[in-house]
Every structure is written in structure tokens, then in C-alpha cells.
Amino acid sequence: MLDDKHLKHYLVLFVVLCLCLALLLFFRFNRLAQIGVATFGSSFYCFWGIMHHALEERLNKKIVTEYILFGILAFLIISTALSV
Amino acid sequence: MLASLPYRHEKAIQNWREDPRAIQKFKFIHHFIPHAYHKTRAQLLSTRAFLGYFLALFLVLGSIKLLPKVIPGILGYASNIFSRDLLTFTNQKRQEAGLHTLTVNPVLAAAAKKKAEDMFEKGYWAHVSPEGVEPWDFILAEGYDYSYAGENLAKNFNDSKDVVDAWYKSPSHKENLLSANYDEVGFAVVNGVLDGYETTLVVQMFGKSRNPKPIATRVEVPETPAPVTVSALEEQVAPAQVVPKVDVAMVVKVLAFSLGGFLTVLLLIDLWYSKKHGIIKLSGHTLAHLVFLVVTFVSIWVALVPGRVL
């Protein structure tokens, strides 16, 4: 199960992602702002993953790549949906 | 029983090593489940697989952009927009702001229709046509002598409420919606093919007439012109219901959900299989990836609308 430290990290992630969702809803008719929010959300996720693993002292190149790939994928999916 | 297990296990491994089909099966299954020996995720969650997903997304995006140029009208935006609803939602916003409601003027509606048809005919999406014709020219050409006039445009929307909400969220369009200078409004909801996509254009023209009488004469309304009712408006401007062969917005949503759903299933298998077999991998947190993907899906479902305003 998640320990206290993990729980705090996950809470930060959850709150920021929910904030991004709320901002996407707020800027529902403003594509440029939505792209900005998607960029921020994806970048934050990469940052969160790297920081979380760095604090746990188990960061390696593979983990960094994995978070970056997930961040890019989510951004591309949202951008594709926004481009139509 | 227990003592015989290692021998049986070794035997099984020996048999397996000699069976090419078993090796193939072993390799194939690790596309979906983590590798206990190498302590890695399923191959479909590898860097190479992700590069494949990126390529697939670029191909989809490229097809959506190129296909309408090759076969115009095959892709489009489903819509169900009614002038009646546009009027209701517009007046609702004005009442909320403490303003008087607008009445429909058929001359403004005719000008709006001409503008929408002109955009389809000449293939542009702008307030000013490529020849430099301005919205006021359409209004004046219909014989509406105005002291104030304005124009809002929208395209690719699915329903009337989204159109008015989008205008309301944009400061310049909101200014038109909530201007006390206007008394009358005209709507045009016209279907056609623009830039290769089958779509619906919505034109909203606002005005304050200098002299209402000539307008009534021009549209041959009886001597005592009655205010135009909602039902009359529906008769003048047909509701637009577009059902394209392929709805772009739906295609993109389905593809995004298919890819995202597939990755979610792979991550759930990874979570379950790794726990069951005690595989400790040096990788990112599966739970974090799942949360991130779910937020991405919800964003696409609730926050992204294809419509644009101008």
C-alpha cells in the first residue's frame, strides 16, 4: 500500500491534474489556452515523475524516458482532439 | 509431490527450449505481460511501442487534414443547431445581464444567410471576404439602414447552446451579445462544405435600425408589422441537422479512447501480474500512469469541443 510520503506525492499529482481538468473546462472555447494547459499538465507529469523517483533515490534513465513518453503521448492525444 | 517439482520444472523448461512454437508463444505473451526474468514492462509499453503510437497519432492527424482535400465532404461535423434555440439562449444571456431582449428581424436574417452562403461559395471563414466585402455590405444590400450593427460567426458546433456559450466566453463576441445598442438580430444556420469538411456555419447579425418602416415594406410584411415570433423564425430559416458520412470529432474521440483504453488495460495487467508474481521492476509508477491517462480521457470527453467562433 501507499505510505505517507507516497500519499503526499500522489495527492500533489492528483490536485494538479484536477486543476488542469478544471482549467480545460474553463477554457472550453479557447483552443490556445487549452493547448497551454495541456502543455503544462504533460510537463508537470514528467516533472512529478522525475522528482518523485529522485526523492526516492531510484531515478534512472529508463524511468525518466518512461515519464516523458507518457507525457508526450497524453499531450499528442489532446492536441489531436483539439486540432479537429 | 513437492520434491518432484524442480525436476518437472527443469523438464518443462527443457521441452520448452526445444519447442519453437513455445518460444514464439513466450515472446508473444510478453507483448502484454511484464517479463519476470528481465524485470521489464510488457513490450507494448516499451519505448519502441510508444514511438509506434506517436507515429499512428501523426498518421491519423495527417489523414484528417488531407482526406477532405482529396475527397471533399467525406469528413464533417455532426450538428443539430436551431435558430429558435440560438435566439432563446442569446436573449437568456441578455436577460441575465439585465438587458432588453432582441427581436428577430427577417432582413438581418436574410443578410446573415447571404453571408453564410458567400463563405461556402468562396471558401473563406472570416468577417471580411477575400474581395474585401464587409458584414455591413451584406446588411446594407438587404436594405437595412442601421445606426449600429455587429456580426458573430461560428462553425463546426454540435448544438445551439455550445454556440452561444462559445460567443459568451469570448470577450469580443460577448460585447456583441450584451450590447445595449442593438434591438434586433438575425440568424442563419447554413449547411455546406467548407475547406473539404461538411459543416454548419452560424451567422448572427445584430442591428439597430434607423427607420424600421422601410424594412417592413421591403420584406412585404403587412402594414402593421407584428413582432416576429419564434415559430416564424423557424419557418424563415430551416434548422440545420448535419449527419456527415464520418464525424471527425467522434472519430478522434473513439481513436483517443481506443488507444488510451488499450494502454490502460496493459497497465492494469502490469499491476496485477507484477503483484501476483512478485516482479519488482525498475520503472515508473503504474498507478501514476493510470491516474494521468484517466484525467486525459476525462479531459477529451468533457472539455474538448470542435466548434470555433470568429
What is the 3-state secondary structure of chain A? CCCHHHHHHHHHHHHHHHHHHHHHHHCCCCHHHHHHHHHHHHHHHHHHHHHHHHHCCCCCHHHHHHHHHHHHHHHHHHHHHHHC
Interface check A8 vs B, CB under 8 A: no
**Is A60 part of the contact surface with chain B (CB cutoff 8 Å)?**
yes
Across chain B, mean pLDDT equals 80
Task: Quickly count: other Cβ atoms within 10 Å of residue A84's Cβ.
Answer: 20
Of B64, B252, B288, the CB nearest to A49: B288
A69 part of contact set with chain B, CB < 8 Å: yes
Whether the CB-CB separation of B204 and B184 falls below 8 Å is answered with no
Q: What is the mean pLDDT of residues B265-280?
A: 88
pLDDT of residue B244: 65
Contact between A17 and B295 using a beta-carbon 8 Å cutoff: yes
B-chain residues within 8 Å CB-CB of A78? 296, 299-300, 304
pLDDT surpasses 50 at B228: no
What is the CA B193 to chain-centroid distance, rounded? Answer: 16
Residue B52 confidence (pLDDT) above 80: yes
Query: Using 50, 70 and 90 to split pLDDT, how confident is the model at B213?
Result: low
Whether the CB of B307 is below 8 Å from some CB of chain A: the reply is: yes
Query: Which residue of chain A comes nearest to B65, CA vs CA?
Result: A84
A57: phi > 0 → left, psi -120 to 50 → alpha, else beta; which? left
B168-172, B173-177, B253-257, B300-304: the lowest-pLDDT one: B300-304
- How many residue pairs bridge chain A and chain B with CB atoms within 8 Å of each other? 109
Largest Cα–Cα separation, chain A: 43
Question: Phi and psi for B247 in degrees, rounded to 5?
Answer: -80, 110
Query: Into how many domains does chain A fold?
Result: 1
User: Which value does ipTM take for this structure?
Assistant: 0.92
Q: Supply the range of the domain harboring residue A38.
A: 4-82
Instruction: Give the residue with greater pLDDT, B218 vs B166.
Output: B166
User: Is-contact B164 B89, C-beta < 8 A?
Assistant: yes
- Provide the pLDDT for residue B222: 42
Using the Cβ of B212 and the Cβ atoms of chain A, whether some distance falls under 8 Å is answered with no
CB atoms within 10 A of CB A65: 15
Helix (H) or strand (E) holding B22: helix B20-29
Report the C-alpha dihedral over residues B63, B69, B72, B77, rounded to 10 degrees. Answer: 50
What's the gap between Cα B20 and its chain centre?
49
Helices A4-26 + B286-303 axis angle, to 10: 20
Q: Is B185 on the interface with A (CB under 8 A)?
A: no
Cβ-defined contact of A20 to B295 (cutoff 8 Å): yes
Position B120 pLDDT exceeds 80: yes
Q: Which residues is B203 bridged to in the sheet?
A: B153, B188
Average of per-residue pLDDT across B288-297: 91
- For residues A54 and A59, give the distance between their C-alpha atoms in angstroms, rounded to a whole number: 5
| Nearest chain A Cα distance for residue B138, angstroms | 27
What is the pLDDT at residue B210? Answer: 85
| Highest mean pLDDT: which range of A37-46, A50-59, B134-143 | A37-46
| Range of lowest pLDDT (A57-66, B164-173, B218-227, B235-244) | B218-227
**What gap in Å lies between CA B179 and CA A59, rounded to an integer?**
58
Tally: H helices and E strands in chain B: 12, 9
Residue B219 dihedral angles phi and psi, to the nearest 5°: -90, 10
Provide the 3-class DSSP secondary structure of residue B277: coil
A50 Cβ under 8 Å from any chain B Cβ: no
Chain centroid to CA B165: 14
Residue bearing the bigger pLDDT, A40 or B70: A40
CA distance B61 to B309: 22
Determine, for residues A58 and B259 on separate chains, whether the beta-carbon distance falls below 8 Å.
no
Mutation choice for A interface testing from B197, B299, B301 by most A CBs within 10 A: B299
Residue A67 C-alpha, separation from nearest chain B C-alpha, in angstroms: 7
Give the pLDDT score at A31: 84
Are the C-beta atoms of B105 and B184 separated by less than 8 Å?
A: yes
CA distances from B67 to B61, B148, B150 (A): 10, 42, 35
Distance, CA of A8 to CA of A29 (rounded, Å): 33
Cα separation values, A7 from A3, B85, B288, Å: 6, 48, 11
Question: For residue B304, which residues of chain A lie inside 8 Å, CB to CB?
Answer: 24, 34, 78, 81-82
Q: Is the dihedral of CA B215, B218, B220, B224 positive or negative?
A: positive
Beta bridge mates, B240: B81
The pLDDT value given to residue B212: 60
Secondary-structure breakdown of chain B: helix, strand, coil percentages, each rounded to the nearest 5: 55, 15, 30
What integer pLDDT is reported at residue A37 of this predicted model?
Answer: 94
What is the nearest CA distance from A59 to chain B, expressed in angstroms?
9
